[in-house]
């Protein structure tokens, strides 16, 4: 395992590599077509390099544990608003998720539906490309249209365009208080209708999920105390056609949303896990065609976690609708047989492959992971 | 402003090219009479003009594809154009290029309230996107000041912002999908009403690529329910530092206004003279706007006022109704017009970390004296996106050049303190030559190799974004 201590060392290691490299942050998000290669770890590129609460900006090396960043932000009553999922609940891996990994996989949580995904909070990147060149893009300001936005391109590129060494993020204030409305016993269609109704209201909903395991459809409100009280009341009325909402707050509320964020309901050894992204109103059609053993809907129905029998290819079961399915948990054999990422239409596949070969001409960075 | 020499062989073939375009498009879609092509010789950066070879106005995606395919075969550069409001010269042509205007693609294709999206043709104006959903209580959030005129196509090309982007994000945070035509005529669909990319975030790199990767003909955008209400509060301070601290304190207190606007003394005086909005004639003025229900507005404003009071404002003015709210905004919204009435001016949009505000304003003051030109500062304080307005006299020989030199110094200063050259207007031609102030050759190479993939022949808007020397070999190979 290669463990560079600085960006320069990492660049040198990539430059002089003569075989495939398998990039590792915390090693907790091990999905994708299995990569054969020598592990190159970012764990020693760790530490917050700049934090300005009054400017809502934090800059950290890519190997910094997400927990370290969240703890530092909490001291100033701030947070990563995109609330990145912790994959350990469903993938069961040891290790500490790093911010670089969260960004490289564009990992977000329930609040994505309101404030945006990881990629929407990423202000700047430094990375080492497949030739060992050190590249930067963006910066540390929110408004930046200077040249092409490679920041967005790096988010969700799973290391195939370059190894992140430093990221700049926009942070947000933590909210004074929060509450969750819980509706009971709705089926998938009713749940999506309820969530749509909530999200389409002026009451600023920051989470909308459906958890069949508990029979709950849940809607989150956050903000200042009086504001939350007001919006809770208004939303209860607004959603009355779907039933009488139970209201919770405090620790029970926090735990509920953490479990939604981490798809906790799908943890457990058996079965494969798929992650489907569709427009919310298509959510029920996905559920009805796949009939998963267990599922969880987030993003108002636009994000569906499903548990299926091992080796199931859900793509062949889902109707021809816009969106994509990603295989998150399966045996190595299944992961070699079924593409992790939704195959792209030909013209887009050509573009994606060409981009990868520009940034990584020798094909040494997580080769094949996204194929 | 240096532009590439037009390709004489294209100029020589003009008639043949026009004929081919005319056979691919309806009769009124090809504009080639020199009296008419003049309308396309510049955009909002009116100091620089050059009429194109011709201009085409397709009305469908297929017509756009036909144009690009043809130009690709003939090796003709194409300059896409939305409404031509770019302040950076993004739509400025060369004499050998074809302007491809998307203004006729202005229809709403689908409104989807359950999923909160709208799909429109890209030539539609920004404000009319909100117009299409307004009566149902929705709006499209990114609101550049030119929104009455600017097109979604241009918003996507430049990743436009606006006063509301502090809360709602810029175009790229509100763009879910596009239909795009590649330079070789291939039509691709990227994204849609679903909420993330299934592989590489191609949408993310297309947004902000200044018309250099493809021509977007349709866009799927996020729409939101309108908040119940909004109200501004106006605060005057006797120093820029104090105003800057106040902004910082508001943010640290966890209040997220939808807009925080800043005006300096020069701007205040000019705007007050023009709009007579009743602004206090002080060193620095902030307008902070919050949204929500009456109760929520009250809760946020009381926190903001309490914070402001700790900084001893010379004035603290609330709005009790819509009328008073409009009066608070009146001066700020007339700023560019007010400045334009007394002077020619150049508007920059360098962005800085909010903490650097007092230092940068002081330095701009020093540079202003050094160069002998006044600079008024009005900007979006919440995100550090400055708009220094350099006043000059276009009729005095040499002043445009002095103005540009001062502008370059200010933008370099923005980069030096950890900011960037442009927060929302884009590079276009205006900031091309400053790109190396922010990016190394390797950084620029990484960006250019993205264009190599989408447009290997470098025919789409080739003279923009990258310094001409840096892109020369790629453009010459075309």
Quote the distance between the C-alpha of residue A219 and its chain's center.
Answer: 19
Task: Kindly state whether residues A84 and A210 are assigned to the same domain.
Answer: no
Q: Which helix (H) or strand (E) holds B177?
A: strand B175-181
Assess if residue A244 is contained within a domain. yes
For the cut 90, the answer to whether the pLDDT of residue B183 exceeds it is yes
Q: What is the pLDDT of residue A11?
A: 98
Report d(CA B161, CA B144) in Å as an integer: 6
Q: What CATH number corresponds to the domain at position A130?
A: 3.30.465.10
Task: Kindly state whether residues A168 and A268 are assigned to the same domain.
Answer: no
Task: Kindly state whether residues A257 and A306 are assigned to the same domain.
Answer: no
CB proximity under 8 Å: A 89-118 to B: 106, 108, 112-113, 116-117
Look up the domain containing A244 and give its range: 177-261
Q: What is the pLDDT of residue B337?
A: 82
Contact yes or no for B381/B286 (Cβ under 8 A)? yes
Task: Kindly state whether residues A93 and A189 are assigned to the same domain.
Answer: no
CB proximity under 8 Å: A 260-289 to B: 277-281
Backbone conformation region of residue A326, classed left if phi is above 0, alpha if psi is from -120 to 50, else beta? beta
CB proximity under 8 Å: B 193-222 to A: 193-205, 207-209
Report d(CA B405, CA B412) in Å as an integer: 11
B253 vs B215, which has greater pLDDT? Answer: B215
Please tell me if residue B158 touches chain A, with a CB cutoff of 8 Å: yes
Task: Kindly state whether residues A193 and A140 are assigned to the same domain.
Answer: no
- pLDDT tens by residue, B335-347: 888 888 888 889 9
Q: What is the pLDDT of residue A274?
A: 98
Please tell me if residue B461 touches chain A, with a CB cutoff of 8 Å: no
Q: What CATH number corresponds to the domain at position A296?
A: 3.30.70
Q: What is the pLDDT of residue B343?
A: 83
Task: Kindly state whether residues A54 and A37 are assigned to the same domain.
Answer: yes
Look at residues B400, B408, B402, B401 and name the one whose alpha carbon lies nearest to residue B433.
B408
DSSP state letters, A313-365: -GGGTS-S-SEEEEEEE--HHHHHHS-SSPPPPHHHHHHHHHHHHHH-TT--B
Report residue B82's pLDDT band, with 50, 70 and 90 as the boundaries.
very high
- pLDDT tens by residue, B15-46: 999 999 999 999 899 999 999 999 999 999 98
Assess if residue A343 is contained within a domain. no
Facing residue for A277 by CB, picked from B165, B196, B450: B196
Please tell me if residue A259 touches chain B, with a CB cutoff of 8 Å: no
Nearest CA in chain B to A112: B195
Identify the domain boundary among A261, A288, A318.
Answer: A261
- pLDDT tens by residue, A182-195: 999 999 999 999 99
Please tell me if residue B38 touches chain A, with a CB cutoff of 8 Å: no
Report d(CA B241, CA B283) in Å as an integer: 10
Nearest CA in chain B to A301: B115
Q: What is the pLDDT of residue A253?
A: 98
Task: Kindly state whether residues A142 and A201 are assigned to the same domain.
Answer: no
Q: Does domain B229-335 have CATH number 3.40.190.10?
A: no
Q: Minimal Cα–Cα distance from B412 to chain A, Å?
A: 13
Assess if residue A356 is contained within a domain. no
Please tell me if residue B179 touches chain A, with a CB cutoff of 8 Å: no
Stretch B99-105: mean pLDDT: 98
Assess if residue A342 is contained within a domain. no
Backbone phi, then psi, for A210, in 5-degree steps? -130, 120
Please tell me if residue A132 touches chain B, with a CB cutoff of 8 Å: no
CATH code for the structural domain at B343-433 = 3.30.70.2740
Q: What CATH number corresponds to the domain at position A232?
A: 3.30.70.920
Report d(CA B244, CA A161) in Å as an integer: 39
Q: What is the pLDDT of residue B358?
A: 86
Nearest CA in chain A to B172: A120
Stretch B254-280: mean pLDDT: 92
Task: Kindly state whether residues A193 and A84 are assigned to the same domain.
Answer: no
- Note the pTM of the prediction, 2 decimals: 0.97
Secondary structure class of A65 (helix, strand, coil): strand
Report d(CA A4, CA B91) in Å as an integer: 45
**Mutate which: A11, A49, A50, A55, vs B, most B CBs within 10 A:** A55
Backbone phi, then psi, for A315, in 5-degree steps? -60, -30
Q: What is the mean pLDDT of chain A?
A: 97
Please tell me if residue B302 touches chain A, with a CB cutoff of 8 Å: no
**Mutate which: A7, A104, A147, vs B, most B CBs within 10 A:** A147
Assess if residue A289 is contained within a domain. yes
CATH code for the structural domain at B8-101 = 3.30.43.10
Other Cβ atoms within 10 Å of B477 Cβ, number: 9
Residue A204 to residue B256, Cβ atoms within 8 A: no
Q: What is the pLDDT of residue A239?
A: 98
Report d(CA A42, CA A165) in Å as an integer: 8
Facing residue for B449 by CB, picked from A227, A281, A358: A358
Q: Minimal Cα–Cα distance from B248 to chain A, Å?
A: 5
Task: Kindly state whether residues A95 and A21 are assigned to the same domain.
Answer: yes
Please tell me if residue A370 touches chain B, with a CB cutoff of 8 Å: yes
Identify the domain boundary among A261, A277, A306.
Answer: A261
B241 vs A162, which has greater pLDDT? Answer: A162
Q: What is the pLDDT of residue B163?
A: 83
CB proximity under 8 Å: B 393-422 to A: 418-422
Q: What is the pLDDT of residue B478?
A: 63
CATH code for the structural domain at B108-225 = 3.30.465.10
Q: What is the pLDDT of residue B412?
A: 97
- pLDDT tens by residue, B402-446: 999 999 999 999 999 999 999 999 999 999 999 999 999 999 999
Facing residue for A141 by CB, picked from B249, B353, B454: B353
Cα distances from A39 to residues A20, A36, A365, B7, in angstroms, run 9, 9, 10, 51
Assess if residue A127 is contained within a domain. yes
Residue B453 to residue A351, Cβ atoms within 8 A: yes
Report the domain count for chain A: 3
Task: Kindly state whether residues A88 and A151 are assigned to the same domain.
Answer: yes
Q: Where are the beta strands (DSSP E) in A47-186?
A: 48-52, 57-61, 78-79, 122-128, 134-138, 163-170, 172-173, 177-184
Task: Kindly state whether residues A38 and A128 are assigned to the same domain.
Answer: yes
Q: Do domains B229-335 and B343-433 have the same CATH topology?
A: yes
Report d(CA A89, CA B196) in Å as an integer: 22
Tokens of B458: 């470098």
Identify any residues that bridge with B377 across adjacent strands, giving them in sequence order: B388
Q: What is the pLDDT of residue B94?
A: 97
Angle of helix B357-371 versus helix B399-416 axis, rounded to 10 = 160
Assess if residue A291 is contained within a domain. yes
Contact yes or no for B458/B472 (Cβ under 8 A)? no
Identify the domain boundary among A140, A173, A206.
Answer: A173
Q: What residue spans define the domains of chain B? A: 8-101, 108-225, 229-335, 343-433, 440-477
**pLDDT beneath 50, residues of chain A:** none
Cα distances from B122 to residues B105, B178, B196, B375, in angstroms, run 6, 9, 21, 35
Assess if residue A181 is contained within a domain. yes
Task: Kindly state whether residues A208 and A232 are assigned to the same domain.
Answer: yes
- Compute the half-sphere exposure of residue B187: CA atoms within 13 Å on the CB side of its CA: 11
Secondary structure class of A111 (helix, strand, coil): coil
Q: What is the pLDDT of residue B22?
A: 97
Q: What is the ipTM of this complex?
A: 0.97
Look at residues A45, A51, A39, A92 and name the one whose alpha carbon lies nearest to residue A65.
A45
Q: What is the pLDDT of residue A81?
A: 98
Secondary structure class of B319 (helix, strand, coil): coil
What is the separation, in whole angstroms, between the first and last Cα of chain B? 22
């Amino acid at each position: 395992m290669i463990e560079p201590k600085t960006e320069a060392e990492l660049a040198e290691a990539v430059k002089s590599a003569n075989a495939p490299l398998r990039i590792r942050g915390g090693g907790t998000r091990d999905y994708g077509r299995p990569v054969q290669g020598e592990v190159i770890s970012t764990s020693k590129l760790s530490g917050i390099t700049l934090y300005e609460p009054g400017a809502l900006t934090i800059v950290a090396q890519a190997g910094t544990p997400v927990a370290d960043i969240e703890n530092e932000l909490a001291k100033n009553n701030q947070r990563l608003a995109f609330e990145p999922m912790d994959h350990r609940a469903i993938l069961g891996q040891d290790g500490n998720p790093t911010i670089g990994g969260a960004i490289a996989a564009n990992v977000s949580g329930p609040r994505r539906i309101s404030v945006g995904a990881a990629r929407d909070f990423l202000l700047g990147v430094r990375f080492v490309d497949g030739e060992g060149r050190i590249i930067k893009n963006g910066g540390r300001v929110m408004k930046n249209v200077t040249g092409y936005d490679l920041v967005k391109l790096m988010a969700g590129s799973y290391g195939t365009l370059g190894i992140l060494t430093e990221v700049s993020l926009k942070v947000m204030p933590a909210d004074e208080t929060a509450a969750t409305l819980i509706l009971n016993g709705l089926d998938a269609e009713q749940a999506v209708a309820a969530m749509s109704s909530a999200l389409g209201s002026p009451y600023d909903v920051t989470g909308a999920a459906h958890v069949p395991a508990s029979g709950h459809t849940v809607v989150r409100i956050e903000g200042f105390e009086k504001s939350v009280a007001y919006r809770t009341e208004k939303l209860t009325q607004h959603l009355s056609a779907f039933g009488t909402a139970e209201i919770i707050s405090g620790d029970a509320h926090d735990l509920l949303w953490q479990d939604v964020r981490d798809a906790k309901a799908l943890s457990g050894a058996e079965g494969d896990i798929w992650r489907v992204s569709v427009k919310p109103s298509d959510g029920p059609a996905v559920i009805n065609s796949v009939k998963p053993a267990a599922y969880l809907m987030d993003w108002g129905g636009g994000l569906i976690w499903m548990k299926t029998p091992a080796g199931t290819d859900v793509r062949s079961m889902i109707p021809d609708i816009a969106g994509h399915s990603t295989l998150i948990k399966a045996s190595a054999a299944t992961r070699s047989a079924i593409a992790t990422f939704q195959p792209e239409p030909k013209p887009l596949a050509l573009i994606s492959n060409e981009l990868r070969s520009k940034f990584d001409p020798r094909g040494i960075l997580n080769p094949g992971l996204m194929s | 402003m240096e532009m590439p020499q037009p390709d004489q062989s294209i100029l020589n073939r003009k008639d043949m090219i026009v004929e081919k375009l005319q056979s691919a498009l309806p009769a009124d879609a090809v504009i080639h009479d020199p009296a008419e092509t003049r309308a396309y010789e510049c955009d909002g950066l009116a100091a620089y003009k050059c009429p194109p070879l011709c201009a085409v106005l397709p009305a469908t995606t297929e017509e756009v594809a036909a144009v690009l395919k043809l130009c690709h075969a003939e090796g003709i550069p194409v300059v896409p154009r939305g409404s031509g409001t770019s302040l950076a010269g993004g739509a400025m042509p060369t004499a050998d290029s074809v302007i491809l205007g998307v203004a006729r693609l202005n229809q709403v294709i689908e409104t989807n309230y359950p999923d909160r999206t709208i799909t429109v043709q890209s030539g539609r104006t920004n404000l009319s996107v909100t117009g299409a959903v307004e009566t149902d209580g929705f709006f499209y959030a990114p609101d550049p000041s030119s929104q009455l005129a600017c097109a979604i196509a241009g918003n996507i090309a430049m990743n436009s912002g606006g006063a509301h982007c502090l809360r709602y994000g810029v175009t790229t945070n509100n763009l879910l999908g596009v239909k795009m035509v590649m330079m070789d005529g291939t039509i691709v669909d990227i994204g849609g009403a679903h909420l993330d990319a299934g592989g590489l975030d191609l949408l993310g790199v297309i947004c902000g690529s200044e018309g250099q990767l493809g021509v977007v003909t349709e866009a799927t955008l996020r729409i939101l329910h309108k908040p119940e209400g909004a109200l501004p509060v106006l605060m005057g301070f006797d120093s820029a530092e104090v105003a800057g601290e106040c902004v910082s304190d508001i943010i640290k207190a966890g209040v997220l206004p939808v807009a925080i606007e800043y005006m300096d003394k020069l701007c205040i005086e000019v705007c007050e003279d023009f709009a007579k909005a009743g602004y206090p004639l002080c060193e620095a003025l902030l307008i902070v706007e919050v949204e929500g229900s009456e109760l929520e507005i009250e809760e946020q404003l009381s926190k903001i006022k309490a914070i402001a009071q700790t900084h001893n404002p010379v004035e603290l003015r609330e709005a009790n109704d819509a009328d008073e709210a409009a009066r608070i905004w009146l001066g700020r919204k007339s700023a560019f017009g007010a400045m334009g009435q007394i002077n020619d001016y150049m508007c920059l949009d360098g962005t800085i970390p909010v903490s650097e505000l007092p230092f940068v304003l002081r330095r701009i003051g020093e540079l202003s004296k050094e160069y002998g030109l006044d600079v008024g500062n009005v900007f979006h304080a919440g995100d550090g996106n400055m708009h220094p307005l350099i006043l000059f006299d276009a009729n005095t020989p040499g002043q445009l050049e002095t103005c540009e030199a001062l502008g370059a110094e200010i933008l370099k200063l923005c980069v030096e303190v950890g900011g960037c050259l442009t927060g929302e207007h884009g590079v276009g031609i205006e900031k091309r030559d400053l790109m190396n102030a922010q990016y190394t050759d390797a950084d620029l190479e990484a960006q250019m190799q993205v264009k190599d993939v989408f447009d290997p022949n470098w025919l789409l808007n080739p003279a923009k974004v990258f310094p001409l020397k840096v892109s020369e070999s790629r453009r010459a190979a075309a």
